[in-house]
Structure 1
Amino acid sequence: MSVVADVGIVVGALVAAAALGSPLVAWLLRRVEPEAETPGLLRGGMWIGVLERLAIAGAVMAGHPEAVAVVIAVKGLGRYPELRDAEPGLRGETAERFIIGTLASFVWAAACGAAGAAAVAALS
């Protein structure tokens, strides 16, 4: 297939991973934690999640899934102080929210990356 089609598939997979992952993760977190979100709990998560999904989907499509470990490590190290210093009564809730959100985001991005890689391979 043409380079234009390949680029279109890659861009489409990245957009799906980044843009559609946010509502998916938010929906899942509402299912797990139906009451209103705690203000200030893991601030910046949406932007971190978008960048995380872009990096994961891109790494999978580029054939370097080992780069996903780096993304997860950077995210964990960056969030560690906030998780460690959470209010004692919210520590478990904060950690659970972090793990559920990260895993849901990871699975979605990896699936988008794998679908994009499969589509490019099928059309080549």
Structure 2
Amino acid sequence: MIDWAHVGIVVGMGLLVTLLGGRVVTAVFRMADSMSDRHTSRPHPDPVRSAPPHPEPADQPPLGAQAAAVTLRGGAWIGVLERLAVFASLLAHYPEGLAIALAVKGLARYPELKAPETGVAERFIIGTFVSVLLACGAAGLTLWLVTLV
């Protein structure tokens, strides 16, 4: 017999973490960029020289985790699938699935991670950690809630 309360908890938490998790990841990217901007030391103009500092070339994208999204196309969809895979594998008591999902993601993104653009590897690491932590937390909470019902 199907326990619809358990099904509702699992489906509800699965939808919550897979669909709304992207908003949390984006918020963490914004936080990382703002923290990076505060801690980055910009060279101060030399008061002795009157020449203005050289502007950054216009063809270079802005730095930071948000700007690296241009290189890591499809990241939002990959994040949804990643959270779903981690959530489902932990609910199935198959933690090896977490390692498989991360290995597949890392191998698929390897060419972009090797690129010299600043921020790409950082965006990958931050996004992956936040996504996996959300999915693990949701899976743990789901398993706990199911035991209560």
The structure richer in helix per residue is 1
Match among 73, 76, 80 for residue 43 of structure 1: 73
Matched positions, count: 119
Q: Distance in 1 between matches of 2:32 and 2:126?
A: 9
Code of the aligned partner of 1:28? V
TM-score by length of 1: 0.88
Q: How does 1:57-72 map to 2 (within 5 A)?
A: 57-72=87-102
Q: Distance in 2 between matches of 1:22 and 1:48?
A: 10
**Which sections of structure 2, spanning at least 5 residues, go unmatched?**
38-61
RMSD: 1.8
Aligned equivalent of 2:27: 27
Q: How does 1:1-124 map to 2 (within 5 A)?
A: 3-34=3-34, 37-38=66-67, 40-84=70-114, 86=115, 88=116, 90-91=117-118, 93-123=119-149
Is contact 1:17–1:113 with CA below 8 Å preserved after alignment?
Answer: no
What stretches of structure 1 move > 2 A for 4+ residues in a row? 34-39
Code of the aligned partner of 2:124? F
Is contact 1:6–1:120 with CA below 8 Å preserved after alignment?
Answer: yes
**Which sections of structure 1, spanning at least 5 residues, go unmatched?**
none
Code of the aligned partner of 2:73? R
Higher relative contact order (CA 8 A, sep 6+): 1
Is contact 1:13–1:57 with CA below 8 Å preserved after alignment?
Answer: no
Code of the aligned partner of 1:22? G
TM-score by length of 2: 0.74
Secondary structure at 2:73 match in 1: coil
